[in-house]
Chain A
Amino acid sequence: MKCRGRVWKFGQNIDTDVIIPARYLNVSDPDELARHCMEDENVRFVKDVKKGDIIVAETNFGCGSSREHAPIAIKAKGICCVIAKSFARIFYRNAFNMGLAIMESGKAVDGIQDGHEIEVDLEKGEIKNITTGGSYKANPIPSFMRKIIDDGGLIKHIAKGRS
């Protein structure tokens, strides 16, 4: 699977209250959550994200709450994948479980800025910065988690095991 799009660059410790404020946790509809994704952090993001765009962030992305609404909102917004230097652990699990592609690469984050156009090959873990010409390799996803992705997420993985 490949992604190609505009980069939205964020700093460190982007927490779940910023990804989706708790005042919207009385709903679970993905499209409604998507409308409020990052609204306290970046109003341009709210208005201008196009399907296929990519989030790039510093360390500890997704810290804070266990709310799955966070990766749901990001995915429903049309973001193809999130590249960060590191992820908070609950967000990391949640993203895999519901099929939001994430990758870890310190060098890629340093070499990519807001507004750049990049291309990502999720199978190979390769990131290409179209704007600057740079290319990077991401940390490989543990094979166990690859199995979950291949099965289409944790629930499908379990349903498969049951049948």
Chain B
Amino acid sequence: MEMTITQKILADHAGLKEVHPGQLINARVDIALGNDITAPIAIEQFKKTGAKSVFDKEKVVMIPDHFTPNKDIKSAEQCKILREFSMDQELTHYYEVGQAGIEHALLPEKGIVLPGDLVIGADSHTCTYGALGAFSTGVGSTDLAAAMSTGELWLKVPETIKLIYKGHLRPWVSGKDLILYTIGRIGVDGALYKAMEFTGEVIDQLPMSGRFTMANMAIEAGAKNGVFIPDSATEEYIRAKAKRGYRFYKSDAQAQYSEILEFDVSKIEPQVAFPHLPSNTRGISEVGEVSIDQAVIGSCTNGRLDDLRDAARVLRGHKISANIRLIIIPATPYIYRQAMKEGLFDIFLDAGGVVSPPTCGPCLGGFMGVLAKGERSISTTNRNFVGRMGHAESEVYLSNPAIAAASAILGRIGSPEELT
């Protein structure tokens, strides 16, 4: 039977020769991931399963990243629960503040997730690892507890939507713009329950950072997972990082898709998602006059080195607009230090911005850049629902790092092309 990459990974992890969409399977999990806000519930549930220890100390990963460094007393207590459980269970992959980073940037960087893996995580953006050619999906705390206990999870095999990107990228257009454009076209439930398979000549040329960005936002279209077919770029990325075996899967030529969508990227300009849905997108030339109070550059979506370099390229030699806050958040300690070495921090600080330690912080309205009533932020994050970054009457506009940086300089949403 001809299968998609998603079907193949699921079949192998269920010990089956083949699987078809709609089929329920019990799958072996390679990595089970939790963080400081989802793990406390998972740990409590885990204890109720009757298991005394996790199924495999190498495969249960706990990362304190959402409200860290500890945002307040309650968050400190949650981090303590995470820490003590990880120590007690002797987990190989628990990282303390100082070594920890935003989970979906940290795990690929450390070679913890690899091509061909089946990954589940108690965080909706777990779909990020599909960029490596893994099957990776977000679940709730109880599902995580089940996987921690048994090393398995029940899953329903999804149909796949094939997305083909052709043409040539315009200046300043990146993975973020491609995924925002796509979500704008299909809607926040346009891929509900389905796998999104990203392909085409543009994808073949897209750097890993852009692939992580696109896979990261598959959930914003309602998808179960987003996936890229691994290639030489993938190999180059993981070669030095992998400390265990991995497998490259690919979709069969005659695999069945529920839909095939083609995009000519030559027509796509940098995108901005207006409040209050990631699908409420517009091209940068159609934005009009939208003043901002804050710009955030970071997150599991766009907090990688390439993203910071893009922002620095725009900010170099400029100062941000008066009364704007620019908050830059390198996603991992390695990215933080490397950005510093490359002189990017001087550019950010000279422009008037601040650099935060790795954290999810403002993305979900936690801390490190929360919005007051009536305030607006442009942000390289992934969601802009009501109240996402603070007050219920604040607004979040989503974009790529270059647009966010240009907007900080202009004091309104705009493009690097408008800068002198």
Contacts and interface: CB of A to CB of B under 8 A. Distances in A.
Interface in A18-70: 18, 21-23, 25-28, 40-41, 59-60, 63-69
Interface residues of A, number: 42
B392 A163 contact: no
A60 B192 contact: yes
Contact of B124 (A25, A28, A64): A64
Contacts of A64: 124, 383, 385
A73 B24 CA distance: 28
B37 A68 contact: no
A56 to B, nearest CB: 18
A89 to B, nearest CB: 5
B239 interface: no
Nearest to A25: B37
B142 A66 contact: no
A163 B51 CA distance: 11
Contacts, number: 133
B146 to A, nearest CB: 6
A89 B188 CA distance: 12
B122 interface: yes
A15 interface: yes
A28 B188 CA distance: 28
A159 interface: yes
Given A13-B277, A26-B72, A153 B142 contact: yes
A15 B385 contact: yes
A144 B41 CA distance: 24
A117 interface: no
A17 B193 contact: no
B386 A41 contact: yes
A67 B365 contact: no
Contacts of B67: 25-26
Contacts of B222: 60, 63, 88-89
Nearest to B75: A26
Interface of A: 13, 15, 17-18, 21-23, 25-28, 40-41, 59-60, 63-69, 71-72, 86, 88-90, 93-94, 97-98, 142, 144, 153-156, 158-159, 162-163
